[in-house]
Amino acid sequence: MPPRKPPRVRETVSLYAAKTRLSELVDRAARGEEIVIAKSGKPRAALVPLTDVRPLRTPGKGRGKWRVKRSFDAPLPRNVADDFER
């Protein structure tokens, strides 16, 4: 994942304002701004740009596409083991 850029703007908006202007705030966050949402004057959440948009991994997706040989856990040949011990 690339290093995260520092936020350009950090603005605090009330929960009511965030509800009424959510689409605008999401667009601003997508452009790199960081918006803090406050309830009763206290910060409660942050709207930040999404940096990792890869899909979630699906367990078992590669099942049956590769096999592990029976000798997988067998001891290494002596010359290979010696190279690791150097």
Range(s) of the domain holding residue 29: 7-51
Q: Is residue 86 part of a domain?
A: no
Residue 13 has pLDDT above 90, yes or no: yes
* Strand residue runs (E) in the chain: 10-14, 34-39, 42-47
The answer to whether residue 16 sits within a structural domain is yes
Nearest CA to 37 out of 52, 50, 23, 48 is that of 48
Quick check: is 12 in a domain?
yes
Q: How many domains does the chain have?
A: 1
CATH of the domain at 23: 3.40.1620.10
For the segment 38-66, what is each residue's pLDDT rounded down to a tens digit?
999 999 999 998 888 888 888 888 888 88
Does residue 61 fall inside a structural domain?
no
